């Protein structure tokens, strides 16, 4: 017995939307990498080199082949920013619990 096409319409719609979501995310990632494919299987050295690339070019996934780095590169440093609070480590809010590893079970009770 042939299946009427109306019976397959929901599957077509589901396939189309799953496809749109997946390919859409993939496209956004590709665009966000500066029209380059994702890096994967990275070790510590790769991460370090990507950080160095960022210091040299100023953009994520930027590349350049200049032999000599600019003078500022010798003393470059990145200072990570933290939110300011007068009660740091005093209240037991969810943000701090997350930060200290309480939520995922490696909280130090000492």
Q: Which residues bind to other proteins, rule: CB under 8 A? A: 36-41, 46, 49-50, 52-53, 56-57, 61-70, 72-75
Least distance from C-beta 96 to other proteins, angstroms? 22
Six-digit token string for 69? 């780095």
Least distance from C-beta 34 to other proteins, angstroms? 9
Q: How far apart are CA 57 and CA 18, in angstroms?
A: 37
Q: Residue 74 or 90: which CB sits closer to other proteins?
A: 74
Q: Is 43 helix (H, G, I), strand (E, B) or coil?
A: coil
Q: Residue 41 or 90: which CB sits closer to other proteins?
A: 41
Closest CA to 76 of 91, 54, 60, 94: 54
């Amino acid at each position: 017995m042939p299946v009427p096409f109306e019976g397959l319409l929901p599957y077509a719609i589901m396939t189309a939307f799953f496809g749109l979501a997946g390919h859409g995310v993939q496209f956004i990632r590709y665009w966000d990498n500066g029209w380059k494919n994702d890096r994967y299987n990275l070790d510590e050295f790769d991460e370090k080199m990507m950080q160095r690339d960022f210091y040299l070019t100023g953009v994520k996934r930027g590349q350049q082949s200049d032999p000599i780095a600019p003078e500022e590169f010798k003393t470059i440093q990145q200072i990570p920013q933290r939110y300011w609070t007068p009660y740091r480590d005093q209240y037991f809010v969810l943000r701090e619990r997350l930060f200290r590893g309480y939520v995922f079970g490696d909280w130090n009770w000492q």
